Structure 1
Amino acid sequence: MDDFLKNLASLNDDNALLDFCRRKVLHGTPFVFNGNEDAYYSFRKRIADEFEINFHEIFIIGSGKLGFSPHKNKIFDYDSDIDVAIRSLA
């Protein structure tokens, strides 16, 4: 968490901030599904089917993605929720 916050604080332009957010917040398998990509796919597909959208439009964000909450300064645990964001033009 400390490295994440230090790297975030060191960014000095909008393009670097956008790249950092894409890489750390949107891209890759979320912490909550670490080592279980099939379950992550199934999770997204189930939501996509329910809302009739493409599964690529579904993201896990927050502590479920990162493994910690930079806002609350707290590590993800069994009491943490999983924040899902849907980005769809539909």
Structure 2
Amino acid sequence: MKGKVFFFRDFEAHEEFLFKKDIAQSLDVHIRDIAVVGSGKLGFSIKPDKHDKRLYEYKSFDYDFLIDSNNKKSDLDIAIISELLFDKLLLELYRQSNSYMTDTFSWGNRKSFAYYILKGWFRQDFMPLNFVISPATDLVVKKYELKYKRDVNIGIYKSWYYFESYHRNNVYNIQLNNIANG
């Protein structure tokens, strides 16, 4: 993804390369396969309102924290685009779960897991609780969460096609919403 990353331009200048390099090395992917997305990339959120999906508030980065310091700071969402990593993780999860036949992980959100896998997206928040992408990545994520005092979320896309399709659909929905509510 081209363009400056808001978070690294306005908050942590000159750290973007090191941040991406650490994540890339921990996952054994190329640094070009790492993209900061969401409000950390743009400087504002393009998520629809939780209560009314037709509304977009376009909240600025850290908006909730700035109006009340008891709120969490905005998180950093990181997309990894790697077919090899996606397939490797899916195979490992398949093995650990006895071909998805046992509920050894005590995870309750299989429907969401399946929904995102079919969209070519491996989301950590829908994985079994004890499933680890990699111990090295966990250490890198924890390092930067402590340093930046905010959550760092990693999503892994099977290919650029799935990544671009997901974001293209979001932009299309925002356009429709703006026309309808404009």
Q: TM-score range by the shorter chain?
A: 0.5 to 0.7
Per the alignment, residue 53 of structure 1 pairs with 29
Match of 1:82 among 73, 76, 81: 76
For 2:16 and 2:4, the matched residues in 1 are separated by: 7
Corresponding letter in the other structure for 1:75 = S
List gaps (5 residues or longer) in structure 1. 1-25
- SS of 2:7's partner is helix
Per the alignment, residue 15 of structure 1 pairs with none
For 2:6 and 2:58, the matched residues in 1 are separated by: 16
Per the alignment, residue 28 of structure 1 pairs with 3
Given that 1:29 and 1:40 are in contact with CA atoms closer than 8 Å, whether structure 2 keeps it comes out as: no
For 1:30 and 1:48, the matched residues in 2 are separated by: 17
1:28 is displaced (CA, Å) by 1.9
Match of 2:43 among 59, 67, 73: 67
1:29 is displaced (CA, Å) by 2.3
Given that 1:58 and 1:84 are in contact with CA atoms closer than 8 Å, whether structure 2 keeps it comes out as: yes
Given that 1:60 and 1:85 are in contact with CA atoms closer than 8 Å, whether structure 2 keeps it comes out as: yes
RCO higher in structure (CA 8 A, sep ≥6)? 1
List gaps (5 residues or longer) in structure 2. 48-56, 66-72, 85-182
Identity in percent: 39
Given that 1:62 and 1:82 are in contact with CA atoms closer than 8 Å, whether structure 2 keeps it comes out as: yes
Corresponding letter in the other structure for 1:61 = V
Deviations 1:12-40 (A, max 9, x none): xxxxxxxxxxxxxx21221000162x310
Q: CA RMSD in A?
A: 1.5
For 1:59 and 1:46, the matched residues in 2 are separated by: 13
TM-score by length of 1: 0.64
> Which stretches of structure 1, 4 residues or more, deviate above 4 A after TM superposition?
none
For 2:35 and 2:29, the matched residues in 1 are separated by: 13
Deviations 1:65-90 (A, max 9, x none): 00000225210016100000000132
- SS of 2:29's partner is coil
